Amino acid sequence: MSTVSPASRTRIHQELQGQTIIVIGGSAGIGLETARRASAEGAKLILTGRNPERLQQAADEFETLRTAAFDATDSAQLDQFFQDLPGPIDHIVVTAGRPNYGRLIDLDSGAVRHALEQHLLLYIAVARNSIHKVRPGGSLIFMGGTGGRRTALGLGIVTTMTAALPALTASLALEVAPVRVNLIAAGFVDTPLSATLLGDELENRRNQLRATLPIGRVVQPEDVAALALHLMTNTALTGATYDIDGGQQFVAA
């Protein structure tokens, strides 16, 4: 009979022991939850975000190697951040950014460029900077969505990005191999971003999702973090898109 308690079993099997993980956008929501979980699995974290106070608050929660407060869509600052890294990295998770809504024809070129910068251009810049920094077999994890799989008025840039990101991920996976690249496509996740976007409508939206999603509950940041850790530790996975939306794309929710 085993005398190993569940707690000590967890410690023995810490899957990210000694690994270093960067979370770009790690001070809230999915990024913060991924950092928490990675830390519990023995990883050392490097966290970034724009708001320095929020970033420090997150960093105080667990063992953090360093923090860097800057806008990740500023390519000069992003390049500098990578140049200043203290040593090799095992995984980079990018959860910075937010969706941009509105009709394409109403967006001026600055707004379109900003929307592209938040996901597409940022991911390419991170991949470029990861060369010689991320260990072979390590990974890059990007965020996309399932909400734009169906076109609707006002979702123009979201649907465009939704279609482009899996192709971008597959191409980058070939280019930066043996580093792996994967995309998480989430539906509604209950994060500070969702709270900001929905305002007073947040609780109604949660109730609607509980009533309509096949899983009968709202997807939480913890669910997405668990998937992110799987993508880090399963070294067979690269170039692919992983949906996590509780079945939202299959129901009218």
Interacting residues toward ligand NAP by CB under 6 A: 25-31, 48-51, 54, 71-73, 95-99, 143, 145, 186, 188-189, 191-194
- Which residue's CB atom is positioned nearest to ligand NAP? 29
Tell me the one-letter amino acid at 247.
Answer: G
Q: Choose between 6 and 110: whose C-beta lies nearer to ligand NAP.
A: 110
Q: Choose between 27 and 130: whose C-beta lies nearer to ligand NAP.
A: 27
C-beta of 85: minimal distance to ligand NAP in Å?
16
C-beta of 246: minimal distance to ligand NAP in Å?
11
Q: Choose between 135 and 249: whose C-beta lies nearer to ligand NAP.
A: 249
Strand intervals (E) in the chain: 20-24, 44-49, 64-69, 89-94, 134-145, 180-186, 241-244
DSSP code of residue 83: H
C-beta of 242: minimal distance to ligand NAP in Å?
12
Cα–Cα distance for residue pair 94/152, rounded to 1 Å: 26
Contact assessment for residue 172 and residue 127, using Cβ atoms and an 8 Å cutoff = yes
What's the chain's Rg over C-alpha atoms?
Answer: 18
Cα–Cα distance for residue pair 166/98, rounded to 1 Å: 17
C-beta of 151: minimal distance to ligand NAP in Å?
17
Placement of tokens 């940041």 in the chain:
221
Q: Choose between 19 and 73: whose C-beta lies nearer to ligand NAP.
A: 73
